[in-house]
Amino acid sequence: MRLKDQKGESVVEFVVVLPLLIILLFGIIEFGIILYDKAVVTNASREGARFGIVYREPGSEITCADITNVIQTYTANRLITFGSPSNATPSYVPNDCNPGSGNDLTVTVSYEYDYLLLPRFVKELVPFNPANLQGRTIMVKE
């Protein structure tokens, strides 16, 4: 007789816990995407810096636009944005991207990550909204 009184109890408990489980699952997925995109941004800065420091014949020096194209191509093919264009923004030290042999070239790539899976109300609870991911690479020009 006692079992008949508790027939729907497990369904009610499941309905109460299900939203929390879904938010937890999407939070784990979102955090994984953030970590992946952070690695992509860091690798993009590395690719851009490597492209900028390789020796070239005098008169055939590269420009900041050339390095930006390398970075934009790298991030466009690899960032997880679910269809929206990547907004990775590079910056350079020195500003002309031509440090001279033996000097450092610093490439910094910034990417403003906008949450993809979590609903809007959860975004308000996160203190770092949107997450600004940044990768920085310093290499010496050959």
**41-82 pLDDT per residue, tens:** 999 999 999 999 988 887 788 899 999 999 999 999 898 877
C-alpha to C-alpha distance for 37 and 65, rounded to whole angstroms = 23
Does pLDDT of 20 surpass 70?
Answer: yes
Kindly report the pTM of this predicted structure.
Answer: 0.82
pLDDT of residue 122: 61
Structural domain boundaries in the chain: 2-140
CB 89 within 8 A of CB 109: yes
pLDDT of residue 124: 65
